[in-house]
Amino acid sequence: MCGIAGVISFKNDMRGELVRCGLMQKAMLRRGPDQRGIFLSSEAALVHTRLAVIDIEGGRQPMTLSMGERKFTIVYNGELYNTEEIRKQLGENVKFETRSDTEVVLLSYMKWGEKCVNYLNGIFAFAIYDESEHKVFLARDRIGVKPLFYYEAKDRLIFASELNALLEYPEIPHEIDSNGAAELLLLAPGRTAGCGVIKGVKEVKPGCCGYYSEDGLKLYEYWRLRAYELNETFEETSEHIRELLLDSIRRQLVSDVPVCTFLSGGLDSSLISSVASAELKKQGKILHTFSVDYQDNDKYFVKSHFQPNSDPEYIRCMAEYLGSEHHWTIIDTPELVNALDDAVYARGLPGMADVDSSMLIFCREIKKYGTVALSGECADELFGGYPWYRDKDIRMIDGFPWAQSTAYRKKFLCDEYLSVIDPEDFVYGAYRRTADYADKLPTDSDLERRMREMTQLNFDWFMQNLLERKDRMSMYSGLEVRVPFCDYRIAEYMYNVKWEYKDYNGREKGLLREAMKDWLPEKVLERKKSPYPKTHNPAFLEAVTERLRDIISQPTPLTELVKRKELERLLTHEDHVQWYGQLMNLPQTIAFFIQLDTWLKTYKIKLT
Residue 97 has pLDDT above 80, yes or no: yes
Closest CA to 222 of 112, 116, 343: 116
Contact 79/59 with Cβ under 8 angstroms? no
Residue 412 has pLDDT above 90, yes or no: yes
Residue 307 has pLDDT above 80, yes or no: no
Residue 463 has pLDDT above 80, yes or no: yes
Residue 472 has pLDDT above 70, yes or no: yes
pLDDT per residue as tens digits for the range 34-61: 888 999 999 999 999 987 776 566 678 8
pLDDT per residue as tens digits for the range 566-607: 999 999 999 889 999 888 999 999 999 999 999 999 999 999
Average pLDDT on 268-280 reads 98
Cα 538 to Cα 413: distance, rounded to the nearest angstrom: 28
Cα 299 to Cα 419: distance, rounded to the nearest angstrom: 47
Range with the poorest average pLDDT among 63-72, 182-191, 317-326, 449-458: 63-72
pLDDT at 32: 83
Does the N-terminal peptide bond of residue 62 adopt cis geometry, omega within 30 degrees of 0?
yes
Q: Write the DSSP string, 352-403.
A: STHHHHHHHHHHHHHHTT-SEEE--TTHHHHHT-SHHHH-TTGGGSSS-TT-
Q: Write the DSSP string, 555-591.
A: --THHHHB-HHHHHHHTTT-----SBTBTB-HHHHHH
Residues 6 or more apart in contact with residue 307 via CB below 8 angstroms: 530, 531, 582
Tell me the pLDDT band of 137, cut-offs 50, 70 and 90: very high
Classify residue 405 by its DSSP letter: -
Closest CA to 77 of 136, 134, 122, 44: 122
Q: What are phi and psi of 82, to 5 degrees?
A: -130, 35
Q: Would you call 2 a catalytic residue per the annotation?
A: yes
Please state whether the predicted TM-score (pTM) of the whole model is above 0.85: yes
* Mean pLDDT score of the chain: 94
Q: One of 2, 116, 260, 317 is an active-site residue; which one?
A: 2
- Residue 534 CB: number of other CB atoms within 10 A? 23
Cα 251 to Cα 101: distance, rounded to the nearest angstrom: 13
